[in-house]
Amino acid sequence: MEHKKNTYFFSRWGFILSAVGSAVGMANVWGFPAKMGANGGGAFLIAYLFFIALFSVVGLSAEYAVGRRSGTGTLGSYQKAWESRSEQLGKAGRLVGWLPLAGSMCIAIGYAVIIAYILKALFQSLSGELMRVDTGAWFESFSTTEYSVVVYHIIVVVITLLTLLLGAKSIEKSNKIMMPVFFGIFVILAVRVAMMPGAVQGYKFMLTSDWTKLKDPMTWIWAMGQAFFSLSVTGSGMIVYGAYLDEKENVVQMAIRTAIFDTIAALVAALVIIPACFAYGLDVGAGPSLLFVTLPRILQDIPAGRIFAIILYTAMVFAGISSLQNMFEAVGESLQHRFPKLTRGWVLVILAAVCLGFGLTMEPIFNWGPWMDIVSIYIIPIGATLGAISWFWLMKKEELLEEINKGTKKPHGALWHGTGRYVYVVCALILCLVALGMKVAF
């Protein structure tokens, strides 16, 4: 499927900001600080940075490359990778591609619910109501009630899909606004948190390490899982952005830059969450309730807390929508590729109907939690593993290296491919087996 000019990213920074927008999400804001808190602080950070470096140079760059080579997203990329061996295998590859693609859609359905919660928090910060409530009772009042955030849910889905109307062009334009604002807002929040009495204990926790944790295999497993999903290396989403990348660009360099900004986002989030929790004696591993119970309680107590609440939830809405964009685009582009008669407009209508139809039943958090556990424990790890095997074992080495080396002055060769085949694929398999065996939700 050939792309028109407006389906390519027009600038290098537009691509990077869009890719970072996809990667930056809830995993950075509550997942990274929580896992860092539970796994030895700085010791976990060392393991995490190791996997971020490995997965960006090998895994993420491979997903960009296979997308660019096929000129399309998930289904077409799996088909092309497998048919590099034989035409019959190509048909099987396309069938395999449906699983990671289903993972993208399943995440989008659940993710939209949490963004609806965040949008509700933003509106109630604007009205001032959030500054007067018992945050625990307030969160319970809508997170355990069916159809409690329907209006916000519809707004989130419709706005996100509208940003996809022009494909890469509108994705790029929206992220050029959302991502700089996101980073700027979190820097402001980090400065404010630094002024809190007791925040220094949080910094000490982050900078000191329980080095014995590095001897614990689960520290490395948690760091690996966080790195995989923080970079969105799931065998689906990043492929479609690679399909919109100019052939002159160096995909490995692009992947490294994506990882750098994603890591900065995770660290800035930790500089907000961890010191704030230490200042108030709260649990850094509280998960989603950090955003809806813990942080609002802190904001109620500080001067100009309402302003900072508006700032926080604006940033989180942007982070959520930028990630949701990628999930929807991965599915939408693949549907257009598989069913060429479908226009982009009709594809977006179908996505809205599916997301809202299934998502409305998950508005109570007791439904949302099990759904997302199924997705993160089973579908996503399997999809990531299928992707890794497809690129490094089924796709011809020569074809992958040819694409990886476009736009680079120093070609990658046997070392890069061997690292992908024998290290990256093994990491994906370990993560998959641990998740399935222990029912661990990353």
The residues near 184 (Cβ < 8 Å, ≥ 6 apart) are none
User: Which of 129-133, 178-182, 226-230, 438-442 bottoms out in mean pLDDT, i.e. has the lowest?
Assistant: 438-442
Place of tokens 């940003």: 163
Task: Tell me the pTM.
Answer: 0.91
For residue range 66-102, what is the model confidence (pLDDT) as tens digits?
A: 999 999 999 999 999 999 998 889 999 999 999 999 9
Domain boundaries, the chain: 5-438
Residues 286-345: tens digit of each pLDDT: 667 778 888 898 889 888 899 999 998 998 999 899 999 999 999 999 999 999 999 999
Percent of residues, the chain, with pLDDT higher than 90: 52
Q: Which fold has domain 5-438?
A: Hydantoin permease (1.10.4160)
**What pLDDT, on the 0 to 100 scale, is given for residue 27?**
64
| Residue-wise pLDDT tens digits, 179-199 | 999 899 889 989 999 999 899
Band of residue 365 on the pLDDT scale cut at 50, 70, 90: confident
Query: pLDDT class for 6, splitting at 50, 70, 90?
Result: very low
In whole angstroms, what separates CA 230 from the centre of its chain?
Answer: 5
Report whether pLDDT(442) > 70: no
pLDDT tens, 44-74? 999 999 999 999 999 999 999 999 999 999 9
- On whether the CB atoms of residues 32 and 287 are closer than 8 A, the answer is no
Total Cβ atoms within 10 A of residue 366 = 9
